[in-house]
Structure 1
Amino acid sequence: MRYSWLNQNGLSTCVLFMTGWGMDPLPFSSIPSGRFDILMLSDYQHLEPVNMQLLAQYEQCHLVAWSMGVWVAGHLLHEVRDRFTTRTAIGGTLDPIHATTGIPPEAYDSILQNFTRNLLNDFHLSMFTDEQEAQRFFNNRPDRTPDDLLAELDAFKKHYLNYGTSADIFTQKIVTSRDRVFPFKNQLRAWGKKESTILKLPHFPFYTLPGWEALVDGAF
């Protein structure tokens, strides 16, 4: 796992951001951090306990987990959930590779078995419904090699098959209704309509939302 500070200015409040597959700081570097320091975790080829000492100095911490990071957060942070004042899941579920409550296994395996640069381009495009947002991402694509991405994709499947459903630690569950990666209906089944907030967002929601404060405060 890789730790990256998106913002570190000695503020009193921190957001721990558990990102999804294939990411690094580049796509998120321009997102306004607001009143938070932002610590991002990425690259889940090997799972290990989260280094909570990195958050020890903060008066208050919040958790934001996105996509496959939702499963990782539930798996790794369930015993320390109370350290986080709010815990937000967006665009992901506790069963990330699942026919009815995650990414359908056949879709996941298709990417895994046919992984190429062109397929990666198609996947990244599928994360957006707005051309300008997609171009913004392509201008700031993660600096990860194809072999590295494929290894992480394979590792996610092995992690999930090994550990199964992760713990529901979340105080806020955001369903992204324009999602073409985690199907909307599967997200809704996973969380339940009464327990979730449905927003008209693509899978990659961070360029549509005004900043990290919207996710933490629920000010959509």
Structure 2
Amino acid sequence: MKQIYLVRKHYPRLLLFFAGWGADENLFRDYHPDESDFLLCYDYRSLAFDSSALASYREIHLVAWSMGVWAAAQVLSELPLPLTKCIAVNGTPFPIDDEKGIPEAVFNGTLEGFSPVTLQKFRRRMCGSTETVKAFLAHEPFRPLEELREELACLKQEIVSRPAAPFKWDKAVIGSRDKIIPACNQEAAWRDTETIVCDEEHYSEALFREILEGM
């Protein structure tokens, strides 16, 4: 796992953000939370997480998106961190699941047929509209195709071999137009958690700005 500070001014508060599959710092470097350091986590080919730098913070706000919801729960569930807010965005603790995540056949099809064309189609579905695709491409992650395929394969291997982690989320934000993790599956996964359903796709620049800069 890569951990990169996008803002590091030694504030007593940290915004800890677990991004989704295929992301990197280019997609999120323009977000500036108020009076908070900002640490981005991505690349889940390994779940190794260095928590040593987090010891100095009095307060940590956690946001996780898509596959990052599962990854965050796996690595943070047993760490004694001062988490005061934990928000999941368009993700679930059951990322490959016919009823509570991405349908298994869809995930396997993406992995088995992964190619530049597959990636392009995925990103179009993730964004939904032409305007959102343009916003995404303006901050497109710079990661090699083979690295993305490896990450997807590692995620599958880890997800099927690990049980859902016992992690408490305060709130789950669900995009009603999500074409990656169907909204109905997200709602099923979060029956015991407060949810906010919004009129958004899987990726929304405006939604991220509202959440990341409003924490």
Percent identity over the alignment is 29
Say yes or no: does 1:138 pair with 2:137: yes
- Displacement after TM superposition at 1:165 (Å): 1.9
SS of the aligned residue for 2:123 comes to helix
Q: Which moved more, 1:12-21 or 1:127-136?
A: 127-136
| Inter-partner Cα distance in structure 2 for 1:81 and 1:53 | 11
2:102 is equivalent to residue 103 of structure 1? yes
CA contact (8 A) 1:112 1:153 kept: yes
Gapped regions of structure 1 (runs ≥ 5): none
Aligned to 1:174: 173
In the aligned structure 1, how far is the partner of 2:32 from the partner of 2:129? 20
CA deviation map 1:71-122 (0-9, x unaligned):
1111111112652111111100010000000000000011101111111011
In 1, the alpha carbon distance for the partners of 2:125 and 2:165 equals: 26
Q: Retained in 1: the 8 A contact 2:170–2:194?
A: no
The aligned residue for residue 188 of structure 2 is: 189
Letter matched to residue 15 of structure 1: L
Partner amino acid for 1:129?
G
1:150 pairs with 2:149: yes
Change (3 A) 1:169 1:82: farther
Q: Give the Cα–Cα distance (whole angstroms) in 2 for the partners of residues 123 and 179 of structure 1.
A: 12
The Cα of 1:193 is off from its aligned counterpart by: 7.7
Give me the whole-angstrom Cα distance separating, in 2, the residues matched to 1:38 and 1:51. Answer: 15
Structure 1 range deviating more: 129-138 or 69-78: 129-138
Match of 1:7 in 2: 7
Q: Structure 2 vs 1, CA of residues 16 and 194 (structure 1 numbering), >3 Å: closer, same or farther? A: closer
Task: Note closer, same or farther for the CA distance 1:90–1:128 as it changes in structure 2 (3 Å cut).
Answer: same
What is the aligned partner in structure 1 of residue 85 from structure 2? 86
Query: Which AA in structure 2 matches 1:21?
Result: W
1:1-220 pair list within 5 angstroms: 1-48=1-48, 50-80=49-79, 82-192=81-191, 195-211=194-210, 212-214=212-214, 216=215
The CA deviation at 1:131 is 2.3
- What is the TM-score normalised by the length of structure 1? 0.91
> Could you tell me which amino acid in structure 1 is paired with residue 88 of structure 2?
A
Cα RMSD over matched residues? 1.7
Task: Give the aligned length.
Answer: 214
* Matching residue's letter, 1:2: K
Distance 2:8 2:90 in 1: 26
Shift of 1:140: 1.6
Q: Cα distance 1:113–1:147, how it changes in 2: closer, same or farther (>3 A)?
A: same
2:65–2:90 Cα contact (<8 Å) kept: yes
* Bigger Cα displacement from structure 2, 6-15 vs 21-30: 6-15
